[in-house]
Amino acid sequence: MKLKWKNRQLYLRNSRTRIPFRYGSACMTVSPQAILDVEIEVDGVVVHGFSGDCLPPSWFDKDPSKDFRQQVDEMLAACCQACDEFRDTFSTSERFFPGWLHVYHHQQERGSSQQWPALLTSFGVSMVERAVMDAICRAKRMPFGDAVRENLFGIDAGLVHQCLSSHSPGDWLPRESRTSLYARHTVGLGDPLTDDEVEADVAVDGFPRSLQAYVSRHGQQYFKIKVSNRLQHDIERLTRIAEIVQTYRGDKYHVTLDGNEQYKTIGDLIQLIEKIASSEKLATFWKNTLLIEQPLARAVALDESLAADLHQLPGQKPVIIDESDGTLDSFTRAVQCG
């Protein structure tokens, strides 16, 4: 299967959040939604593919000297530059995966020269790759899951990680795609926990606003809870969250804790874990905690000198990366660090 680039359109749609969303050092109340429409030729068939994403403040790039407008401009520039690189690479018919890999490496070099975080550069590439993969699926009239299982995209994992050279994507997937999944409810740093914390002057739209209202109405089982590296405040808030969830779910729920890079040292993180693990009121909560997400700032998270400390974290909860996942070798580096 070969592709040829034809055209693209990048659209923006402004949006407002129902509830101010606080995460890390940011509070999101407005955010553009980017929608990318690509037109490509797949084995002689011209088809459109689409992708979309939120352009959030202070997530891809946490440089405090950049205001939100500059951040949005750079997110859009990352998308447009990736489009241009796809256009040049696929100006004649080429196979998808080798062409994509060329675009990825070239864009990382370009982003580095512009002093962009690797995560921002990869975001631009991912916007285009998603739209192109959508177009391929439409051209072949094949659901995405089947396309991956049959390796319609020609993914050669060994070109990225040599140890995977004998594998194809279908080796890691079930024969059939899931027909249902659990929604994970995010509890932001500023979200109202109980109904009496909801501001009286907010517009009434019939949907829940507090954590209490969500759990009592919909019975969520999975929660992603933001923590702020304010130890006492976090412990008090987590205790209240546990009380609310356990009122409606008993012990039948699961939690992930999201640090959003707020912890500068392993010591700060250990203090949080020890406080949670030693609290009788948080015993069920901690037992049901599945993992801790990106607690450390990306500047230090993949520092090999921290590996021994990460392996010694109390509580034996997995730690995963998010904002540090900027390049193709991020996963292997993270595993090596613990």
The string of pLDDT tens digits covering residues 112-139 is: 999 999 999 999 999 999 999 999 999 9
* Structure tokens given for 150: 């049959």
**pLDDT score for 203:** 67
Say if CB 185 and CB 217 are below 8 A apart: no
Whole-angstrom distance, CA of residue 146 vs CA of residue 284: 39
- Taking the CA of residue 11 as centre, how many other CA atoms within 13 Å lie in the half-sphere pointing to its CB? 9
Distance, CA of 3 to CA of 91 (rounded, Å): 9
Radius of gyration of the CA atoms of the chain, in A: 22
Euclidean distance between the first and the last CA atom of the chain, given in angstroms as a whole number: 39
Options 3.40.50.920, 3.40.50.20, 3.40.50.620, 3.30.390.10; CATH for 3-141 is 3.30.390.10
- The confidence score (pLDDT) of residue 314 equals 75
The residue count of the chain comes to 338
In the chain, what are the domain boundaries? 3-141, 184-337
- Model pTM score: 0.92
**What is the CATH topology of the domain spanning 184-337?**
TIM Barrel (3.20.20)
Cβ neighbors of 73 (< 8 A, separation 6 or more) are none
- Please tell me if the domain spanning 3-141 has the same topology as the one spanning 184-337: no
- Give every residue of the chain whose pLDDT is below 70, as ranges: 203
Q: Quote helix, strand, coil % in the chain, to nearest 5.
A: 45, 20, 35
Residue 204 pLDDT: 77
